[in-house]
Amino acid sequence: MFPRHLPRVAALFDIPDDELTEQASRAASSVQRLADLWARNGTADAAVLRSLRSIAKRHAVKMPDKAGLQQRVNRMADAGWWRRALRKRFQAVELHQIQAGAVHRQASPYVSAKALRRHERNAARLEQQMAGLEAVNQATGEAIHMPELIDASLSNPAHRRRALMARIKGIEASANAKGHAALFLTLTCPSCMHPRHFSGARNDRYDGTRPNLAQRYLRWVWSKAMRRAEHLGLTAYGLRVVEPHHDACPHWHMLVFTPADQAEAFANNLRAYALAVAPDEPGAAEHRFTVERIDPAKGSAVGYVAKYVSKAIDGEGVDGDSESTGDGRSTARRQIAWARTWSIRQFQFFGVPPITPTRELYRVAGETLPGHALRELHSACKANDYAAWLATVEVHGLSFRVDYSEQPSTRYRDETTKAIQGLRIQGGDLGGVLQLTTRCDTWRIQPRAKAGADSSQCEGASPAPDAPWTRFNNSASLDFKGLFPDALPADVEGFEGVVDAGAVCGKRPAPGTATRCRTRPGNSQARSLSAPGADARSSNATAQGGRPC
């Protein structure tokens, strides 16, 4: 589907960052003025909610993902929330670039030149902002420049890549110790989701699917297959990496470990769901889903994914890229810009314990920990040995729950935020539940005092004053005319619903492609389809189209 208003909408949304910031401030101030009016007049909650939804629709942004009405009002009266929401509209600009032929191997692989420039400007802006901030320990007064903290954390691409590789290496070592098989799987989308051929020529089957909806389709295939695998008693764990084809359509590479006698059944199960949509199109059987068994005698499983991990982070050790003509670092820049543009998570571990307890235990001193099992686990943390961590957790039957503390929000009035405080640990030789505090200090981020500034200037810059809850004088008059000057014209508002409409590949999906479907506007019917291989159930909505959720 090619939305009739896409070129016009893309032109409306393609604005410089300073103009976007101004629009965000105007929208937030207008909502705040309305909120004050609603409070004075005692407006019913239902009427307030209708107004908020209308405002969001007129600006083509999504409502805040919060249940409480006051939480929604707080966010829509905040300029920071509006900046983030308005930046999501750049997806329409990029979709227009894709459909206009500006994104493919022969032009600009993965992302358009426009989106890449915007991403790099945002990165430079953020770096400049961080350079003017420092973190101050509220107990000791110690101040650390923010770029130093960023460089020492997982925000540093090199640290993030090493941490991922260490975890993958540990999972592989644990799998080898159990005699499990390793599979390298690749999952791609049907041809209707690919805008361009490798030559750059237009794909006549392309139905207008944007990359984040193609990613949603892949997630759906994976979740259905994993649910079926669980029902069949199949066990699998590992890592999936998402990267784009040259035309921005996503595909997945998965490193999967499974008991050797379950490997074939797991692969066949996933293949059935991968081929549920358009299974007979040319090349589907050969390219839609591929399986490669990893022979430990020929190489490690880590080696299979190392290139894809590096390409998605910093390009270290990657000489070239088959989907583009650039080197590893150029490829990484483009892939990160693609992921940021479409809000796509690049890495996801599955079937293994969460990493937060590992990181939290690393923060404490080992000699203060009770019990042999916990000290053994701490030693594995400090040695960066994730295989030893997994083995110790399994042998001693340790379980973790992250503890959070609630603090008053510094951004939203009458709200609290959660911060990690420590861990609740059970099992081993602990003799009960251990409540372990891992974070004792409180830090405040504030503007950094300029070098050479006198004491009065330093006093004025630190600490930063709290932002006011109200952005204008409460006695200011309310002018309803022009209250939202940046709202979209009525004939193009609500752009999100227009783009999401349509069938997968313009066809009725094979049985098993959906349990809940998004239908075209005005069509309230939905389909209910069974697992691959089952009989199809007819539905009028099938012909109308829909997309797997």
Whether residue 144 is contained in a domain is answered as no
Copy the structure tokens of residue 472. 């204008």
Residue with the larger pLDDT of the pair 416 and 270: 270
What is the per-residue pLDDT across 361-383, written as a single tens digit (0 to 9) for each?
999 998 889 989 999 999 999 99
Segment 530-542, tens digit of pLDDT: 445 443 333 333 3
Judge whether residue 358 has pLDDT over 50: yes
The band of 229, judged by pLDDT with boundaries at 50, 70 and 90, is very high
User: Which tokens sit at 23?
Assistant: 């629009």
Residues 414, 295 share a domain: no
Tell me whether residue 230 is in a domain.
Answer: yes
pLDDT above 60: residue 511: no
- Asked if residue 421 is part of any domain, the answer here is yes
pLDDT number for residue 514: 38
Angle between helices 90-99 and 113-131 (to 10 degrees): 150
Q: Same structural domain for residues 362 and 219? A: no
Q: Tell whether 188 and 238 lie within a shared domain.
A: yes
The predicted-structure confidence for 272-298, as pLDDT tens digits, reads as follows 999 999 999 999 999 999 999 998 888
Torsion sign over Cα 454, 459, 460, 462: positive
Task: Tell whether the model's pLDDT for residue 186 goes beyond 80.
Answer: yes
Burial of 172-203, coded b for 16+ CB within 10 Å and e otherwise, reads bbbbeeeebbbbbbebbbbbbbbbbbeeeeeb
**pLDDT (0 to 100) of residue 104:** 95
- If asked whether residues 269 and 239 sit together in one domain, one would say yes
Q: Where is the domain boundary, 421, 437, 453?
A: 437
pLDDT band at 504 (very low <50, low <70, confident <90, very high): low
pLDDT at 356 over 90: yes
Residues 329 and 371 in one domain: no
| Final residue before a domain boundary, out of 342, 375, 391 | 342
Instruction: Identify the pLDDT of residue 413.
Output: 84
| Model confidence pLDDT, tens digit, residues 240-278 | 999 999 999 999 999 999 999 999 999 999 999 999 999
Region 485-505: mean pLDDT is: 55
Same domain assignment for residues 364 and 329: no
pTM of the model: 0.84
- The reply to whether 105 falls in a domain is no
Q: What is the pLDDT of residues 44-58, one digit of tens each?
A: 999 999 999 999 999
Q: What amino acid occupies position 303?
A: G
Looking at the fold, whether 196 and 315 belong to one and the same domain comes out as: yes
Model confidence at 492, in pLDDT bands (50, 70, 90)? low
Q: pLDDT tens across 308-354, in order?
A: 999 999 999 888 888 888 888 999 999 999 999 999 999 999 999 99
For position 495, what pLDDT does the model report? 54
494: confidence class by pLDDT, cuts 50, 70, 90: low
More confident residue, 510 or 85: 85
Q: Which one has a higher pLDDT value, 5 or 219?
A: 219
- Mean pLDDT for 110-121 is 96
On average, the pLDDT of the chain sits at 84
pLDDT at residue 501, as a whole number: 32
Q: Which two tokens stand for residue 22?
A: 């101004």
Average pLDDT over residues 157-172: 95
* Any domain includes 142: no
Of residues 482 and 164, more confidence is placed in 164
Among 437, 468, 487, residue at a domain's last position? 437
Is residue 241 in some structural domain?
yes
Give the three-state DSSP class for 101: coil
To which residue do tokens 């915007």 refer? 118
Are residues 361 and 338 both part of a single domain?
no
Q: Where do runs of H (alpha helix) occur along 275-420?
A: 301-311, 328-342, 356-362, 372-382, 386-396
Shared domain check, 411 and 376: yes
d(CA 279, CA 288) in angstroms, rounded, equals 9
Q: What burial class does residue 236 get, using C-beta atoms within 10 Å of its C-beta: 0-12 exposed, 13-18 middle, 19+ buried?
A: buried
The token pair at 238 is 């590992």
Cα–Cα dist 508/503, whole Å: 7
Q: pLDDT tens-digit profile of 7-37?
A: 888 999 999 999 999 999 999 999 999 999 9
Per-residue three-class SS string for 464-501:
CCCCCCCCCCCCCCCCCCCCCCCCCCCCCCCHHHHHHC
- Quickly tell me which residue has 């000791």 as its tokens: 140
pLDDT for position 18 = 92
Residues with catalytic roles: 304, 308
Q: Are residues 170 and 217 in the same domain?
A: yes
How many structural domains are present in the chain?
2
273 touches 189 (CB < 8 A): no
Is 216 a domain residue? yes
Q: Is residue 531 part of a domain?
A: no
Domain that holds residue 200: 157-342
Predicted confidence band of residue 518 (pLDDT cuts 50, 70, 90): very low
pLDDT level of residue 523 (50, 70, 90 thresholds): very low
**Which positions ≥6 away from 197 have C-beta within 8 Å?**
203
pLDDT-derived band at 150 (thresholds 50, 70, 90) equals very high
pLDDT at 456 exceeding the cut of 60: no
Residues 215, 269, single domain; the answer is yes
Predicted pLDDT at 491: 63
Same domain assignment for residues 330 and 367:
no
465 pLDDT above the threshold of 90: no
